[in-house]
Structure 1
Amino acid sequence: MARLLMILAKILVDKKTRDKVVLFIGSILVGFILLLAAPIIALYSLENTEFEAPGIDKSAFSESDFIAQLPSEKQEKIEHTQAVGDEIEAEMTSLGIADQIIKAQLIYMSYFDEVENFDANFYAHLFYYAPYDEVLIESLNQNYGLAIDYNEFMRTYIFVMNSTINKYMFTDTSTKNAADLAAWAENAYLSEWQYADNCYGERSGEDRLRCADNVGLIMGYIRYDAENKVFTSDTVDMYYTEQGSIDTMPDIKGVGVYNGSEFGVYVGNGEVVFSSAMGGVQCQRLTDGGWTAWCTFDAVMYPQEVQDRINELHEPATETLTTEGE
């Protein structure tokens, strides 16, 4: 299944390949893509992704119509997959790792066709205890007798994550807050967003990959309406306040950093995410980017610890006057 997803990704994303297939195969392509897209449709039906097929009329791409034309056993399988997907979501949410829900659902749909007596609670705990993805894939292979290729899966996963904005990364969609800004920046890095001028996280260019320029990475979060899954134009400019030198920065996720020409977002563990024309969205150590100052963004709410640090830095200096002889 993972190989089919990669073929689908190639057809949908590579304009040259897509145009050639459309030219020679015509209407057969739609049925072929719908067949290959079944696992993504299931994922889409769980409201996890914003499925987009460039070159295909979305009004004709109806999930319900497609599923209705499938044999009854296929319909039952998709319904079962959706039900298991809901179980996975519930278990991972209860463990506090909701940001990994899409990954867990995608792995299940791609590799678990032959797995019997699936237990969503046990499955979710494997994600909870794995410190990083290579260990996770090894653990899944050992526990379920699978042969998931780490590199192959990650290519598929990155494609899926780049095609959507992970709704599970937000802690509070009713406010623009520091924690969610950090999650936004980190998600852009993990999803391999590209660099493009005047972009804020939209899918752009022939390859339809998400892009953001340096300020746009931050503005994208400010302008993104998570409830309606759209970018708005309500906020045009980014306002920030430089608070102090980098050595005075509080260890709080979502604080901004500045080097005189570029901004970055501190994401914790001594790391900064930023977008640059030299490589797209990147992550580096705080000590490696020539960051000289830290700042706050006016549209973003920060925790009290940040305000306390600001107050410390901007308190007026006091002098103790002494009289002669003392």
Structure 2
Amino acid sequence: MAVSAATVAKITSAVASDKNARKVIGVIIGSVIGLLLIPLIAYMGIIGNMDSIEIDTNQVQQSIVQNMSAEEKAKLQHIEDVMTGISKECSKRKLKSIVGKKAQAVYACAFYDVEKSDNDFISKLVDCFEQAKDDNELLNMLNSAFGTNISAEDFSHLMSVISNTVIDIDLSNTDKNNLDLVKWAQMAYDNKWGYVWGSHGNVLTANELKRLEKTFGSHVTDKEEYIKSHWLGRRTSDCVGLIKGYGWYDETSGTIKYGTNGMKDVTADGMFNAAVEKGPISTMPDVPGIAVWHQGHIGVYIGNGYVIHAANTYDGVIKTPITSSGWTHWLKVPYINYIEETEANSN
């Protein structure tokens, strides 16, 4: 199977767009991974100041592949084959897809050289991910299984990078619905997503920030320095973007595809106006996944009296009591289905 630009993109996605990746790359990425991935990492704005450069992602990927030697293409193909093997092994053990994605990323970033000298690498790697209860135990098991000495600090950076790239969520098999919206909002809160006006859950690269500045002007440019120092390289969203990102999320590819799944690109007020079922906050039913609203702002009610919302540039995605933030109305998000928890459990 010939190596392709898609292969490069797939492997690069394991590395992520996080400023902490600078240190990870310098410390634990093998020479071959560096050879193949550094150009792509650079264009994503992770290494160096690339803010002033406009780059076509697909063109760069194709150019890199076209200019590889036969030996480099063979090495890249080998990486893809191992990653495919990891995915199949995780599927065979009925592990969540996110486990396979994390195992692939750890291999691509830190264990390329180890794999070449261990014929049972894939099985041992998946053993570690299957058995470890947390990242600390995972690191200890990996170091023990492969005789490596990756430090806790470097591994923490690596897992942070992976978390910023891989969307860690296990959704139901039903259509877009309120209960999965709650899971989505909780994931964004747990992973400390940032806030940038106009964003909807993708990793904030330098080029994406420039696009948002051009599109939304002072809403973004007035806070540019804070955004660059706090949110660049992380997933970001604005308030309604948190909901739209869920609507546009494609679980098969693990990506957010703009304008898909019937979710319209509307503002917070536009979503409220489009809602059929809504009312004053005093009449709100206790249904997780209902949205709460006041003029210009929207959040997701997650149950037990709490709301998760992308608050502002300085706070990012936060969780607050429903009695705070000045919510005046509730609404059922018009582009998703509303189901009872008992329905979800029976599927």
Whether TM-score is above 0.5 comes out as: yes
User: Does 1:188 pair with 2:188?
Assistant: yes
TM-score (norm 2): 0.58
Note closer, same or farther for the CA distance 1:107–1:57 as it changes in structure 2 (3 Å cut).
same
Q: Using the alignment, how far apart are the partners of 1:7 and 1:222 within structure 2?
A: 23
**Could you say which residue in structure 2 is the equivalent of 1:87?**
85
Which residue of the partner structure matches residue 340 of structure 2? Answer: 304
How many Å apart are 1:215 and its aligned residue?
3.2
Q: Quick one: distance in 2 between partners of 1:296 and 1:199?
A: 22
What residue in structure 1 maps to residue 133 of structure 2?
A: 131
Give the alignment partner of residue 36 of structure 1, picking from 34, 47, 57.
Answer: 34
**Aligned equivalents of 2:193, 2:175: Cα separation in 1:** 24
2:151 maps to which of 143, 149, 152: 149
Q: Tell me the alpha carbon deviations over residues 50-84 of structure 1, each in whole angstroms, 9 at most, x when there is no partner.
A: x8456334354134x42454444433222121111
The structure 1 residue matched to 2:245, chosen from 208, 212, 220, is 220
Distance across 2 between alignment mates of 1:10 and 1:98: 26
- Map 1:152-163 onto structure 2 (within 5 A): 152-162=154-164
Q: Map 1:312-323; keep pairs closer than 5 Å.
A: none
Distance in 2 (CA, whole Å) between partners of 1:144 and 1:295 is 53
Report the equivalent of 2:310: 275
Alignment partners' CA distance in 1, 2:57 and 2:241: 28
Which entry has the higher C-alpha Rg, 1 or 2?
Answer: 1
State, as a whole percentage, how many aligned pairs show the same letter: 23
Match of residue 255, structure 1, among 281, 289, 299: 289
Unaligned runs of 5+ in 1: 14-33, 309-326
Amino acid at match of 2:110: Y
Superposed displacement of residue 241, structure 1: 4.5
Cα distance change of structure 1 residues 142 and 76 upon mapping to structure 2, 3 Å threshold: same
RMSD: 4.7
Residue by residue over 1:120-143, the C-alpha shift from the partner in whole angstroms, topping out at 9 and shown as x without a partner, is: 344224223323222222221222
Match of 2:26 in 1: none
Return closer, same or farther for 1:234/1:302 CA change in 2, 3 Å cut-off.
Answer: closer
Determine if contact 2:182/2:300 at 8 Å carries over to the other structure: no
Distance (Å, rounded) in 1 between the aligned partners of 2:135 and 2:331:
32
Distance 1:179 1:225, change over 3 A: same
Residue 275 of structure 1 aligns to which amino acid in structure 2? A
Match of 2:142 in 1: 140
2:96 maps to 97
Is 2:228 the partner of 1:231? no
How far residue 211 of structure 1 moved from its aligned partner, in angstroms, is: 2.0
Once residues 183 and 215 of structure 1 are traced to their aligned partners in structure 2, the CA distance between those partners, rounded to angstroms, is 16
| CA distance in structure 1 between the partners assigned to 2:160 and 2:66 by the alignment | 30
Q: Calculate the TM-score normalised by the size of structure 1.
A: 0.61
Structure 2: give runs of 5+ residues left out of the alignment: 1-13, 23-31, 210-227
In 2 relative to 1, CA 209–36 (structure 1 residues): closer, same or farther, beyond 3 Å? same
